[in-house]
């Protein structure tokens, strides 16, 4: 028995070591994690404002997970209760992270215009464990699992119907470059340290808000700059359009001729490149394993990180 227990401990240790190794080679610029000593801005009682809005909220109100600061109510129909307020104590308001009309950000998914059935299926996958993150300690992924486990079918249906009815808009400007601003972590995203310091981009995508304060105020009209390696858009276009001589499969076969979706298959044009990178890696590593997503396993099997960066850069350059 003692030998068996020792053997079992050895197997568990190997599994944990392998898991740690698999996580250590994830691109930190895509799987952004807050430093242990991270402290967000304190609430000094001041009221925050954003361009072209009459709204105004304090930092505490903006960070309330059960209240959506709706800066531009004219941009969308009335939000369902589950989107605008959630359900205490377990179900956060969908619009807090994904914003009032669903554009999301680099740290999570854009929901506007996704097929209703697809949104419902993703929530079921989060709940069942068929969809996870390769870095589960990232809080946005952790929160999605917790919400999916607590939300009911009627609430999912209401949120899915709402977000699928909205028209997505282009929020990302692609800049091909060899040098990028030095960045640090703000919330769950990257932001420039200042306006002067630069560093080589390497084989990364550095996606930042054009206005960090506007983004932190959860303004759905926030826009982003995605710095990508020089030439990556053309390389990604070749892979997406031709399959790269058998390396992968043309994206339009499933996602539609303009990559804006086909039936229950979601659109991938104009999406956050950071998000796309995470999803392709998660699929490669078996973290998105539902029956509906299995065809993607073969599509990404032969892609290396350079390929993934190029495909994500190309997709983000398109209109949604």
In a domain, 14, yes or no: no
pLDDT value for 22? 56
In a domain, 48, yes or no: no
Spell out the SS3 assignment of 92-117. CCHHHHHCCCCCCCCCCCCCCCCCHH
In a domain, 32, yes or no: no
How far apart are the C-alpha atoms of 43 and 45, rounded to whole Å? 5
pLDDT value for 97? 96
- What residues pair up with 200 in beta bridges, in sequence order? 179
In a domain, 44, yes or no: no
Domain termination site, one of 142, 164, 186: 164
pLDDT value for 23? 66
Answer yes or no: do 178 and 306 share one domain: yes
Answer yes or no: do 179 and 311 share one domain: yes
- What residues pair up with 91 in beta bridges, in sequence order? 87
How far apart are the C-alpha atoms of 194 and 212, rounded to whole Å? 12
- What residues pair up with 175 in beta bridges, in sequence order? 227
Domain termination site, one of 139, 164, 189: 164
DSSP secondary-structure letter at 259? S
In a domain, 2, yes or no: no
pLDDT value for 41? 77
Answer yes or no: do 108 and 233 share one domain: no
Answer yes or no: do 262 and 189 share one domain: yes
pLDDT value for 18? 38
Determine contact, residues 266/255, Cβ cutoff 8 Å. Answer: yes
Count structural domains, the chain: 2
Beta-strand pair 224-229/172-177: parallel
pLDDT value for 293? 86
Range of the domain at 303: 172-316
pLDDT value for 13? 37
Answer yes or no: do 191 and 250 share one domain: yes
How far apart are the C-alpha atoms of 18 and 299, rounded to whole Å? 24
Domain termination site, one of 164, 184, 216: 164
Answer yes or no: do 132 and 183 share one domain: no
Pick out the chain residues at pLDDT < 70.
Answer: 1-23
In a domain, 89, yes or no: yes
pLDDT value for 107? 96
Place of tokens 């030439």: 231
CATH number for the domain that contains residue 178? 1.10.760.10
Answer yes or no: do 180 and 221 share one domain: yes
pLDDT value for 128? 97
Q: Ramachandran region of residue 270, left (φ > 0), alpha (ψ -120 to 50) or beta?
A: left
Answer yes or no: do 187 and 93 share one domain: no
Answer yes or no: do 250 and 122 share one domain: no
Answer yes or no: do 112 and 214 share one domain: no
Answer yes or no: do 94 and 159 share one domain: yes
In a domain, 278, yes or no: yes
Other CB atoms within a 10 A radius of the CB of residue 26 amount to 20
Q: Kindly list the distances between the CA atom of residue 70 and the CA atoms of 140, 144, 187, 221, in Å, as whole numbers in the listed order.
A: 21, 21, 20, 11
| 75-103 confidence digits (pLDDT tens) | 999 999 999 999 999 999 999 999 999 99
Answer yes or no: do 148 and 177 share one domain: no
pLDDT value for 40? 77
- What residues pair up with 208 in beta bridges, in sequence order? 225
| 224-283 confidence digits (pLDDT tens) | 999 999 999 999 999 999 999 999 999 999 999 999 999 999 999 999 999 999 999 999
In a domain, 196, yes or no: yes
């Amino acid at each position: 028995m003692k030998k068996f227990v020792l053997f079992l401990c050895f197997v568990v240790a190997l599994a944990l070591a392998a898991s740690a190794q698999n996580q250590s080679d994830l691109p930190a610029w895509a799987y952004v994690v807050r430093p242990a000593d991270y402290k967000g801005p304190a609430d000094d009682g001041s009221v925050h404002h954003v361009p072209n809005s009459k709204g105004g909220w304090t930092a505490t109100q903006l960070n309330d997970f059960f209240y959506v600061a709706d800066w531009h109510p004219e941009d969308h129909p009335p939000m369902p209760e589950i989107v605008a307020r959630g359900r205490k104590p377990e179900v956060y308001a969908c619009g807090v992270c994904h914003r009032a009309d669903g554009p999301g950000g680099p740290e999570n998914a854009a929901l506007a215009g996704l097929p209703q059935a697809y949104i419902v299926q993703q929530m079921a996958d989060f709940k069942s464990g068929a969809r996870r993150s390769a870095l589960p300690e990232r809080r946005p992924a952790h929160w999605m699992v917790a919400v999916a486990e607590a939300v009911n079918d009627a609430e999912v249906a209401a949120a899915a119907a709402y977000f699928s009815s909205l028209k997505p808009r282009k929020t990302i400007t692609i800049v091909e470059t060899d040098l990028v601003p030095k960045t640090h972590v703000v919330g769950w995203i990257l932001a420039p340290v200042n306006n002067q310091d630069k560093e080589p981009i390497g084989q990364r995508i550095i996606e930042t808000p054009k206005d960090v304060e506007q983004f932190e105020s959860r303004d759905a009209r926030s826009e982003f700059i995605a710095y990508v390696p020089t030439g990556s858009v053309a390389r990604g276009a070749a892979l997406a359009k031709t399959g790269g001589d058998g390396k992968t499969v043309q994206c339009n076969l499933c996602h539609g001729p303009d990559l804006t979706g086909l039936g229950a298959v979601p659109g991938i044009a104009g999406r956050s490149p950071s998000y796309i990178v995470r999803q392709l890696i998660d699929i490669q590593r078996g973290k998105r394993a539902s029956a509906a997503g299995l065809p993607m396993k073969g599509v990404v099997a032969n892609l290396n990180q350079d390929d993934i960066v190029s495909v994500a850069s190309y997709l983000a350059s398109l209109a949604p």
